């Protein structure tokens, strides 16, 4: 995602007409575009940065090979994939298939669906850096001083000298900046590292505290809104 919090799209096509139609829709959704004229160079471009959306003007075997390489993964999260195809056959691996001939109407619907998926995925996986010391209590009565290093929709990261073991359930009160009160969190340790870091998943958060957390995360996860959004 770019510095102004716009989603990034890698657009793979050499058809100027398709790019004109789809590009207008993407710009209206405040999605930045990198144009690639061939599948053979698209994979290298994908590896260069953070891509949220890949749009492929489907051309048979080359496009299929690109999609397979995307799903095999690399040093990036798997992007949302939209295939633009003249065939009625489904495109395995594509999240959304946009049929030719393109119209403004079917393009807008397909890319709004893609935008919603990217937004949900971004908010689910976003992690926000913190550096807040807390006292955590394990379910067997031990107390330990740890530092909460990041937080997201599903859990927290922490660091400390004497970390809990995997499977421990910790409880602690987290003073998130700007929230009306400390948030009570119960979290289970999923992994830990020898260099003093650990990752936890949320087990239980009181309903009112959960509202505060969700509001805080939503405020921290703002992306550029579509130009014609309400």
Q: What percent of the chain has pLDDT over 90?
A: 48
Whether the predicted model's global pTM rises above the 0.75 cut: no
Assess whether pLDDT exceeds 60 at residue 75.
Answer: no
221 close to 122: Cβ distance less than 8 angstroms: yes
Do the strands 8-12 and 32-36 form a parallel or antiparallel pair, or are they unpaired?
parallel
Mean per-residue pLDDT for 181-186?
A: 96
Radius of gyration over alpha carbons of the chain, in Å? 22
Widest Cα–Cα separation across the chain: 66
**Residue whose C-alpha is closest to residue 172's, from 133, 198, 199, 211:** 133
pLDDT tens column, 115-141: 988 888 877 777 888 999 999 999 888
CATH class of the structural domain 127-220 = mainly beta
Q: Is the peptide bond before 101 cis (omega within 30 degrees of 0)?
A: yes
Angle at 216 (CA atoms; ends 213, 221), nearest 5 degrees: 120
What length does the chain have? 230
Domain spans, the chain: 8-125, 127-220
CA dist., res. 161 & res. 139, Å (int): 19
Residue 96: phi and psi, rounded to 5, are: -140, 135
Mean per-residue pLDDT for 93-116?
A: 91
Q: What is the CATH number of domain 8-125?
A: 3.40.50.2300
Residue written as token pair 């007409």:
17
Confidence of residue 74 (pLDDT cuts 50, 70, 90): low
Note the pLDDT of residue 76: 55
């Amino acid at each position: 995602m770019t510095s102004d919090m716009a989603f990034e799209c890698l657009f793979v096509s050499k058809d100027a007409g398709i790019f004109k139609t789809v590009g207008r829709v993407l710009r209206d959704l405040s999605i930045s575009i990198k144009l690639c004229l061939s599948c053979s160079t698209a994979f290298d471009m994908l590896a260069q940065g953070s891509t949220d959306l890949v749009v492929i003007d489907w051309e048979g075997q080359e496009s299929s090979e690109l999609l397979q390489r995307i799903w095999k993964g690399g040093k990036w999260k798997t992007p949302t994939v939209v295939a633009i195809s003249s065939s009625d056959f489904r495109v395995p691996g594509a999240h959304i298939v946009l049929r030719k001939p393109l119209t403004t109407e079917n393009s807008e619907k397909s890319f709004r669906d893609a935008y919603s998926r990217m937004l949900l995925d971004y908010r689910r996986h976003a992690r926000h850096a913190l550096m807040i010391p807390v006292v955590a209590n394990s379910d067997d009565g031990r107390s330990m001083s740890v530092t909460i290093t990041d937080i997201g929709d599903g859990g927290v990261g922490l660091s400390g000298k004497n970390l809990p073991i995997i499977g421990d359930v910790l409880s602690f009160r987290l003073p998130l900046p700007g929230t009306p009160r400390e948030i009570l969190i119960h979290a289970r340790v999923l992994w830990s590292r020898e260099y003093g870091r650990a990752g936890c998943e949320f087990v239980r958060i009181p309903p009112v505290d959960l509202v505060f957390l969700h509001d805080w995360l939503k405020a921290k996860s703002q992306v550029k809104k579509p130009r014609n959004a309400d």
